[in-house]
């Protein structure tokens, strides 16, 4: 099943890249059908997963390169399955939002599908080389999608994004090979299997180096402050359909990598560096929110707010406890839905008014009452209003940080930073909503119309989900819980130096 989920958009994307004489309607149907089937399969897989057990399920393995024992091995647990479903859902929204794409539609849709496939592959790969291949597969279509269809300083943004990502990727590849060599020297078994490599014992000082290589790759992708400088430029230059995938799904691959690789492979290093990384996350939470307050460009405002919200996710992961981990995964789902919806709204506003500058348009309430209601709901979810999805994830993360032994006496400051960022979020979200929808102006174009049915179809699912997950967060948390416990159990009992007592200092 997981193989179908990954390869349906991959094959469809490659087919579109080489097909000729297709009109835009046929191109859209091929792309939409492929992501639609992928989404249905992901939901079926999610519903069929036994959430009482935290181990990998749906595991399939085929020897790919016998000489090096590289395998095509995929599987999913309670964390990765939610990420797979989120990615497939956002792929459906992204393709639908690109229906009116006129410039080189076939290539654009083909690259979009390749991006979806690469992201899905990252979440299910259980072989480190396979993981690395899918990791790089995400980069290639993103480079062309922003470089060819972007706006503004797209070349600069694309170049900066690629340089940052490639540096991290190459360091990760070095670490992958290094770990395999260490395991081979210890066991005389050549393997790239993640589930096998987590049992490889490494000295603490060596864990530090390898953890640093992996962490840098994932920190750039999230991004974690201060490795964030590529994000505002890239997001502002990025086309809205691509941005839905970039902010909603691709940014989660970095957080997922921290959970899948860093925690189980390098438990001592995680414990040693958790305090520092918590400080980086807390700094990013406040920094992103503070800078978002001063933005006039709506795209830049949402971009900086993403830095803040992604910082919450990292803070929860390095709390290294159940509340933090559960909150982080829930917030990964929430942010994917909320941030994507906000960017879609920004695109709809820009299409009608011709600008994203808040100084040049406002007072849209009378002209766009449907968008007004949806925009208000998404904005309230983004600022963490109780009863909506954004609140529960942030609350669990702050609870996890407050009780985290890994943060020692700094826990209060990290929680304070999170609370301060929530206050800032109320400022910039209400500023964004009220400035666009409620103030009066005479500058609006004549004959402005509300969003049509297709655009409503893009936002209605997000509106339903932010309410549903806000009222029933257990749908995610209860299913993530066993996997979070299993992951933390591995982090605290496996792959520790032989001189320890099995608790790794936790």
Mean pLDDT of 209-215: 92
Instruction: Assess contact for 344 and 506: CB atoms under 8 A.
Output: no
Give the end of a domain, one of 204, 230, 262. 262
Q: Are residues 196 and 304 in the same domain?
A: no
Tell me, yes or no, whether 503 lies in a domain. Answer: no
pLDDT at 495: 55
User: Using H for helix, E for strand and C for coil, what is the string for 95-146?
Assistant: HHHCCCCCCCHHHHHHHHHHHHHHHHHHHHECEHHHHHHHHHHHHHHHHHHH
User: Using H for helix, E for strand and C for coil, what is the string for 451-468?
Assistant: CCHHHHHHHHHHHHHHHH
55 has a pLDDT exceeding 50: yes
Tell me, yes or no, whether 352 lies in a domain. Answer: yes
- How many secondary structure helices (H) and strands (E) does the chain include? 20, 2
Q: Are residues 273 and 217 in the same domain?
A: no
Confidence of residue 441 (pLDDT cuts 50, 70, 90): low
Q: Are residues 3 and 150 in the same domain?
A: yes
pLDDT at 285: 93
Q: How many CB atoms lie within 10 A of CB 366?
A: 12
Sign of the CA dihedral with 164 first, then 168, 174, and 180 last: negative
Q: Are residues 431 and 490 in the same domain?
A: yes
96 has a pLDDT exceeding 80: yes
Mean pLDDT of 42-48: 92
- The number of distinct structural domains making up the chain is 2
Query: For 9-30, what is each residue's pLDDT tens digit?
Result: 999 999 998 888 788 888 899 9
Q: Are residues 170 and 292 in the same domain?
A: no
- How far are the Cα atoms of 210, 213, 311 from residue 178, in angstroms, in the given order? 8, 11, 29
Residues 6+ apart with CB under 8 A from 438: 362, 363, 365
Mean pLDDT of 81-98: 93
Instruction: Assess contact for 494 and 264: CB atoms under 8 A.
Output: yes
Residue 1, both tokens: 């099943």
pLDDT at 20: 81
Mean pLDDT of 428-444: 74
Determine the Cα angle at 370 with ends 366 and 371, to 5°: 90
Tell me, yes or no, whether 63 lies in a domain. Answer: yes
Give the range of the structural domain holding residue 133, as residue numbers without chain letter: 1-262
Q: How far apart are CA 26 and CA 296, in angstroms?
A: 39
Q: Give me the phi and psi of 355, to 5 degrees please.
A: -155, 160
502 has a pLDDT exceeding 60: no
Tell me, yes or no, whether 506 lies in a domain. Answer: no
Instruction: Assess contact for 4 and 41: CB atoms under 8 A.
Output: yes
Confidence of residue 501 (pLDDT cuts 50, 70, 90): very low
Q: How far apart are CA 235 and CA 156, in angstroms?
A: 12
Q: Are residues 256 and 284 in the same domain?
A: no
Tell me, yes or no, whether 172 lies in a domain. Answer: yes
Q: How many CB atoms lie within 10 A of CB 218?
A: 25
498 has a pLDDT exceeding 70: no
pLDDT at 503: 37
Residue 460, both tokens: 């209605």
Q: Which residue has the tokens 């209605």?
A: 460
57 forms beta bridges with: 76
Q: For a pLDDT cut of 70, what percent of the chain falls above it?
A: 95
Q: Residue 501 belongs to what H/E stretch?
A: none
Query: For 313-363, what is each residue's pLDDT tens digit?
Result: 999 999 888 888 899 999 999 999 999 999 999 888 888 887 788 777 777
Instruction: Assess contact for 153 and 226: CB atoms under 8 A.
Output: no
User: Using H for helix, E for strand and C for coil, what is the string for 46-101?
Assistant: HHHCCCCCCCCEEEEEEEEECCCCEEEEEEECCCHHHHHHHHHHHHHHHHHHCCCC
Give the end of a domain, one of 194, 227, 262. 262
pLDDT at 478: 86
Of 154-163, 297-306, 310-319, 490-499, minimum mean pLDDT range:
490-499
Tell me, yes or no, whether 502 lies in a domain. Answer: no
pLDDT at 25: 87
Of residues 241 and 504, more confidence is placed in: 241
pLDDT at 36: 94
Q: How far apart are CA 378 and CA 469, in angstroms?
A: 13
Q: Give me the phi and psi of 476, to 5 degrees please.
A: -90, -50
Q: Are residues 148 and 42 in the same domain?
A: yes
pLDDT at 444: 64
Q: Are residues 365 and 232 in the same domain?
A: no
Q: For a pLDDT cut of 90, what percent of the chain falls above it?
A: 40
């Amino acid at each position: 099943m997981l193989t179908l989920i990954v390869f349906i958009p991959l094959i469809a994307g490659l087919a579109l890249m080489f097909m000729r004489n297709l009109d835009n309607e046929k191109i859209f149907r091929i792309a939409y059908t492929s992501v639609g089937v992928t989404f249905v399969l992901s939901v079926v897989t999610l519903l069929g997963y036994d959430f009482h057990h935290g181990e990998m399920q749906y595991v399939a393995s085929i020897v790919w390169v016998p000489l090096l024992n590289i395998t095509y091995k995929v599987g999913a647990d309670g964390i990765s399955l939610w990420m797979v479903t989120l990615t497939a859902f956002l792929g459906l929204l992204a393709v639908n939002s690109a229906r009116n794409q006129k410039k080189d539609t076939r290539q654009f849709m083909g690259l979009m599908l390749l991006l979806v496939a690469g992201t899905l592959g990252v979440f299910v790969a259980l072989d480190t080389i396979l993981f690395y291949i899918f990791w790089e597969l995400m980069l290639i279509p993103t480079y062309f999608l922003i470089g060819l269809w972007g706006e503004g300083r797209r070349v600069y943004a694309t170049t900066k994004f690629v340089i940052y990502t490639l540096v991290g990727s190459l360091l990760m590849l070095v670490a992958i090979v290094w770990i395999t060599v260490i395991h081979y020297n210890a066991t005389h078994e050549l393997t790239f299997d993640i589930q096998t490599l987590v049992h490889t014992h490494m000295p603490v000082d060596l864990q530090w180096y390898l953890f640093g290589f992996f962490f840098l790759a994932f920190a750039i992708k999230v991004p974690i402050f201060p490795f964030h400088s590529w994000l505002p430029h890239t997001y502002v230059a990025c086309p809205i359909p691509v941005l839905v995938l970039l902010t909603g799904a691709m940014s989660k691959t970095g957080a997922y990598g921290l959970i899948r690789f860093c925690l189980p492979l390098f438990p001592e290093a995680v414990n040693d560096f958790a305090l520092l990384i918590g400080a980086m996350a807390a700094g990013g939470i406040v920094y992103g929110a503070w800078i978002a307050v001063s933005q006039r460009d709506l795209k830049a405002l949402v971009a900086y707010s993403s830095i803040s919200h992604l910082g919450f996710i990292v803070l929860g992961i390095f709390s290294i406890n159940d509340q933090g981990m559960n909150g982080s995964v829930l917030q990964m789902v929430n942010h994917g839905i909320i941030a994507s919806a906000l960017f879609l709204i920004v695109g709809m506003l820009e299409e009608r008014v011709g600008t994203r500058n808040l100084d040049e348009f406002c007072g849209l309430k009378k002209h766009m009452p449907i968008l007004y209601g949806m925009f208000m709901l998404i904005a309230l979810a983004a600022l963490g209003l109780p009863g909506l999805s954004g609140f529960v994830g942030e609350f669990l993360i702050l609870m996890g940080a407050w009780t985290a032994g890994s943060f020692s006496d700094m826990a209060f400051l990290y929680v304070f930073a999170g609370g301060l960022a929530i206050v800032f979020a109320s400022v910039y979200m209400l500023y964004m909503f009220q400035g666009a929808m409620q103030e009066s102006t005479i500058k609006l174009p004549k004959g402005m119309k509300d969003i049509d049915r297709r655009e409503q179809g893009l936002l209605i699912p997000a509106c339903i989900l932010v309410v549903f997950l806000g009222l029933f967060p257990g749908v995610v948390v209860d299913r993530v819980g066993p996997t979070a416990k299993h992951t933390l159990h591995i982090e605290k009992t496996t792959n520790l130096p032989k001189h320890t007592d099995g608790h790794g200092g936790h």
